[in-house]
Amino acid sequence: MTLQRRTFMASAAASAVLVLLPLPAAAISLDDEVQAALDAILDGRSAEEGGIALDTPAVAENGAQVPLTVRVDSPMTAEDHVSAIHIIATANPEPGIGSFHLTPHLTKAEVFTRIRLAEEQDFLVLAELSDGRVLQAAARTAVSIGGCAT
């Protein structure tokens, strides 16, 4: 059987789309440190899926600088805005990557950062809203060359 270029390209494109689809946060297994970091942010609240777009590569060539953009759908008004965005990496020695505190004076609820990863892992992103709700999203990034020295 010979594989034609067109068939190969179509299969590769379909595989890439599957990798880039959002990962349900409930599908991620959490160790004790990650669960403790989540519990500290949630403070007894439950998080709901949706409202967050994550832009990060499915495969990062260099784990020393993996870009991550987080966008939260919000009007950013005084009555309805995102007050904080938290990023957690599930396989890092310290799961808390960063917390960004926002005000309604911003026109968009969007943050960008570069993080260092040693291996493939999942990201959890939590967005705290002014009405007390918490949104969540997750993504997975594989790393070709680890960015953490041991």
Q: What residues pair up with 98 in beta bridges, in sequence order?
A: 87
The domains of the chain are located at: 23-145
Q: How confident is the model at residue 7 (pLDDT cuts 50, 70, 90)?
A: low
> And the tokens for 125?
């992103």
What is the percent of the chain where pLDDT is above 90? 60
pLDDT tens digits, 51-91? 999 999 999 988 889 999 999 999 999 999 999 999 998 98
Class of domain 23-145: mainly beta
Residue 11's pLDDT is 52
User: In terms of pTM, does the model score above 0.95?
Assistant: no
Average of per-residue pLDDT across 118-123:
87
- Is it the case that residue 15 has pLDDT exceeding 80? no
Residue 131's pLDDT is 96
Residue 117's pLDDT is 85
Q: How far apart are CA 129 and CA 84, in angstroms?
A: 7
Query: β-strand 82-89 against 96-101: which pairing, if any?
Result: antiparallel
- Is it the case that residue 102 has pLDDT exceeding 80? yes
- Is it the case that residue 14 has pLDDT exceeding 50? no
Average of per-residue pLDDT across 16-21:
42
DSSP string, 81-120: -EEEEEEEETTSSS-EEEEEE--TTSSSEEEEEEE--SS-
Distances (CA, A) of 140 to 25, 35, 58, 108: 10, 17, 7, 24
